[in-house]
Amino acid sequence: MDHLHEQEAFAKLVDRIGPHHAGKRMEMQAHYSAFLMHGHHFHVHLEEFAPISWALKTLLKITGVWPIAVRNSLRYTVVEHEVPLPHLPAAFEGFRILHLSDLHIEGMVDKGKSLAEALAPLQYDLCVLTGDYRFRTFGNYDKTLTLMKTLTEQIHAPYGISGVLGNHDWLEMVPGLEQCGIRMLMNEAQPIEKGNETIWLLGLDDVHYYETGDLDKAVKSAPQNVVRILLVHSPEILPEAAQAGMDLYLCGHSHGGQICLPGGKPIITHCRCPRPYKAGRWRYKSMRGYTSRGVGTSLFPIRLFCQPEIILHTLRKIPIEVETACCYSQSV
Ligand SMILES: [Fe+2]
């Protein structure tokens, strides 16, 4: 996109999401960049704090673990996840959703080649992307968009690709991501129609760092008595989402820890929610959810005891018992 078209596309986006949302996002992005430029790295993201990064890299290289951990970052696991939804319209029985999260695509050692190869044999109806397209949290994103274009050309979803922003992504990336064929949901709702029946996708802006996600706004954009699937970058608003009657909550952000202890126990997740919701499938009251371990990496292109995962959610019209999760409290 040339500069003039970029400006026009961004002005249309501001019109669409409203000046308040756009203004808050841009202001926080500016503060964040200024914060980094003044050397306040540690309080923002661990990956921007050079001494810790250097120490970790040195330790892994000295111990010989580094090349194994780099290889792990490309060893994609395909996870099949069946989602029981009692009110699922009959036309959507067996509907398959490919879920990719935390691509951090220009940080991949092979720039997405192995991921595209892993995706090639898979069959799905819709693809959803739950944020973090860029590797770093600031700076130029041209390479991110170029690589996303190459990847999305290899995703063949009859019902399209929909996505939300993560905390590594900037608002200015939205027009470019939409040019890649991704329908970006910015506190918006999208109907998915099959036969004469419809389910709805709701997607929020980042709730982790920028806090510009607006669940109420998205909820008001869709009918109430329908199956609603919520896309959010992180699992941090699951009580609110359950309260709002969401049926399925798809997210990522935690990377499942990325560098874990044997057995997959995460050391750090940067996720303000209890451990059971930080990776994999979960249930909160009657809402089902899945927190992706992600396909990419942050800080370094390495993974230990935590493989990158491609998830295929299959919707099933099966009743689920309503159960209150015992392990959630806001303070954990
Ligand atoms: Fe991420």
273 pLDDT higher than 60: yes
Q: For residues 325 and 39, which has the higher predicted lDDT (pLDDT)?
A: 39
Q: Once rounded to an integer, what is the mean pLDDT over residues 14-31?
A: 95
Instruction: Round the average pLDDT of the chain to a whole number and report it.
Output: 91
Residue 297 lies in a domain: yes
State in Å: Cα 244 to ligand 1 middle. 26
What pLDDT does 37 receive? 63
- The residue segments making up the domain with residue 312 are 3-316
Q: What is the spatial distance between Cα 154 and Cα 148, in angstroms, rounded to a whole number?
A: 10
Neighbours of ion ligand 1 (CB under 5 A): 102, 132
In angstroms, what is the span from residue 297 Cα to ligand 1's centroid?
7
In a domain, 328, yes or no: no
**Which band of pLDDT confidence, cut at 50, 70 and 90, is reported for residue 18?**
very high
Ligand 1 centre distance from Cα of residue 269 (Å):
10
Return the beta strands (E) in 178-328 as ranges: 182-184, 188-194, 197-203, 228-231, 248-251, 260-261, 265-266, 280-284, 287-291, 309-316
Mean predicted confidence (pLDDT) in 47-57: 74
| Residue 43: pLDDT over 80 | no
Is 264 domain-assigned?
Answer: yes
How would residue 150 be classed by pLDDT, with cut points 50, 70 and 90?
Answer: very high
Could you give the angle at the alpha carbon of 87 between the alpha carbons of 82 and 90, nearest 5°? 80
Looking up tokens 């490309």 gives: 74
Q: How confident is the model at residue 40 (pLDDT cuts 50, 70, 90)?
A: low
pLDDT at position 326: 43
Q: Residue 227: inside a domain, yes or no?
A: yes
Asked if residues 250 and 130 have their Cβ atoms less than 8 Å apart, the reply is yes
Whole-number Å distance, alpha carbon 150 to ligand 1 midpoint, is 20
49 part of a folded domain: yes
Residue 183 lies in a domain: yes
CATH number at residue 190: 3.60.21.10
Mean pLDDT across the stretch 104-132? Answer: 98
Spatial CA neighbour of 284 closest among 321, 319, 323, 252: 323
Q: How far is the CA of 255 from the centre of ligand 1 (A)?
A: 6
Average pLDDT of the residues in 124-132: 98
Residue 51 pLDDT > 60, yes or no? Answer: yes
**Which pLDDT band, with edges at 50, 70 and 90, does 324 fall under?**
very low
Split at pLDDT 50, 70, 90, the class of 331 is very low
State the pTM of this model.
0.93
Residue 332 in domain:
no
Say how many Å lie between the CA of residue 132 and the centre of ligand 1: 5
For ligand 1, the distance from its centroid to the CA atom of residue 101, given in whole angstroms, is 7
Instruction: Report, as an integer, the average pLDDT of 68-95.
Output: 96
- Out of 49-58, 103-112, 142-151, 154-163, pick the least confident: 49-58
Is 45 inside any structural domain?
A: yes
Over the stretch 216-258, which tens digit does the pLDDT of each residue have? 999 999 999 999 999 999 999 999 999 999 999 999 999 999 9
Task: Indicate the number of domains in the chain.
Answer: 1
CA of 159 to the centre of ligand 1 (A): 25
Instruction: Give whole-number Cα distances, 311 to 79, 200, 284, 292, 308, in Å.
Output: 5, 19, 20, 8, 10
Calculate mean pLDDT across residues 52-65.
Answer: 88
